[in-house]
Amino acid sequence: MDLNFYNEHGYYIEENVFNDAECAALIAASSKLENSQNQSFRPQMMPHRSEDIYLNALRNPRIVKSIEQAVGGEAVGLQTEYFYCKPGTRGFSNHQDNFFVEASTGVFASAWCALTDTYAEKGGLIVYPGSHKEGLLPVQKLSLGAAAGQDPNANNEETIIPAKYKPVNAVVPKGAVLYIHGLLVHGSNPNATADKARDVLLCTYIKKGEQFRSGKYAQRAPVELKVA
């Protein structure tokens, strides 16, 4: 990880973390998950609890090394979430991940693992560089209602962003990881393609020993990353 870039901008893209075969295997395993089996294709929370392939991804040594640089010490895993993002899926409203987790500043970060090439038209992320320096920003409630194939928390509210921060569409190639500071404002575009899913595995982490909100939906719990 380029820690200087991450600290300045609030995110960093590290390429070639997963090879083509690993990406294909993570996508194939998603067909076993409940929200694929029931054909809702809503993001699957905590797939590492049922499929070891996602637990191993959470513990990927290269990701863990970068995360521990980002959070300033030994980390534990908190959450995984598999996003199918089929064509037509609505985007995730602008938010800060730490709005949900309620950790101390600088000790929580995410690894957004692209299993296919991701870009704006395909539901790619929108980031607001530097916005993590503002701390936790206020939010306003939305009344968009639930959306097929999207996280139930995706469109309940949105972060109010100071005008000086401008959106950037993050292009993340297959196998790359987008590291996200817990306070970086980000959202996602709708998947406007006709036939391309945007498969992504989200892994989140916190510095060991820090407090966090488990959440009624997520039910986050620490996961040891270095096993004997």
**Whose CA is closest to 202, among 183, 179, 169?**
179
In a domain, 126, yes or no: yes
Residue 146 confidence (pLDDT)? 75
Tell me if the pTM is above 0.85: yes
Residues of the chain with pLDDT under 50: none
In a domain, 223, yes or no: no
Indicate the number of domains in the chain. 1
In a domain, 122, yes or no: yes
| pLDDT tens per residue, range 47-88 | 999 999 999 999 999 999 999 999 999 999 999 999 999 999
In a domain, 227, yes or no: no
In a domain, 220, yes or no: no
In a domain, 226, yes or no: no
In a domain, 69, yes or no: yes
Domain that holds residue 162: 3-207
Residue 148 confidence (pLDDT)? 81
Which CATH number characterizes residue 165's domain? 2.60.120.620
In a domain, 212, yes or no: no
